[in-house]
């Protein structure tokens, strides 16, 4: 039986991220970092390896991605706190609810879409496969693209495509 390895995200800007984090935070000290878009855990892995006494809060709105990050970071399980949430929810009340004992010292956000979502999430982000037209980063909330296409009036759809889809 052939075992197919799934691709994982590697930080493209790892040198830059390390430079700025190491400038701000001495690597041997103890810090609390927040990876607000954990995805597959690539950036968190970078922080955990280079800041051996620090902890990372992993946030992602996509439960499937969070599970992938947890699996990838299993060797650091005692130094991570994993929460399914959107980074926009983070405030002191949120941090208290999830058990964080203080505010994060550093925050990292990767605001691009992931290769996993384009190629393997089965959510209709790409034309490569015949799959449901979902296009939500979290399949648990909000309206799907399929519902938008099938229920919104033509005038509103035209406006959406013109303003956001670069269609003229």
How many other CB atoms sit within 10 Å of the CB of residue 19?
A: 11
Residues facing residue 83 across a β-bridge: 59
Phi, psi for residue 96 in degrees, rounded to 5: -65, -45
**What letter would DSSP give residue 114?**
P
Fold of 14-115: Rossmann fold (3.40.50)
Angle at 46 between CA 40 and CA 52, to 5 degrees: 125
Q: Would you list the domain boundaries of the chain?
A: 14-115, 131-164
- The predicted model scores a pTM of 0.74
pLDDT in 10s for each residue of the chain, 168 residues: 343 445 565 677 889 999 999 999 999 999 999 999 998 899 999 999 999 999 999 999 888 889 999 999 999 999 999 999 999 999 999 999 999 989 999 999 988 776 666 666 566 666 677 777 777 766 677 888 888 889 999 999 998 888 888 766
Residues facing residue 107 across a β-bridge: 34
Burial of 86 (0-12, 13-18, 19+ CB in 10 A): middle
Phi, psi for residue 70 in degrees, rounded to 5: -60, -40
Mind giving me the DSSP string for 2-42? PPPPPP----TTHHHHHHHHHHHS-TTS--EEEETT-TTSH
Tokens matching residue 112: 């691009």
């Amino acid at each position: 039986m052939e075992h197919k390895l799934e691709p994982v995200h590697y930080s493209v800007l790892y040198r830059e991220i390390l430079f700025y984090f190491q400038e701000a935070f001495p690597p041997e000290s103890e810090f609390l970092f927040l990876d607000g878009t954990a995805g597959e855990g690539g950036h968190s892995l970078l922080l955990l390896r280079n800041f051996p006494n620090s902890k990372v809060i992993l946030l992602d709105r996509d439960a499937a991605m969070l599970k992938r990050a947890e699996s990838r970071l299993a060797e650091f399980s005692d130094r991570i706190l994993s929460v399914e949430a959107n980074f926009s929810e983070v405030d002191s009340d949120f941090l208290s609810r999830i058990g964080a004992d203080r505010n994060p010292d550093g925050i990292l956000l990767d605001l691009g879409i992931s290769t996993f979502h384009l190629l393997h999430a089965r959510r209709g982000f790409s034309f490569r496969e015949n799959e449901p037209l979902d296009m939500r980063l979290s399949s648990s909330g909000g309206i799907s693209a399929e519902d938008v296409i099938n229920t919104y009036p033509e005038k509103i759809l035209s406006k959406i495509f013109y303003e956001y889809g670069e269609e003229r």
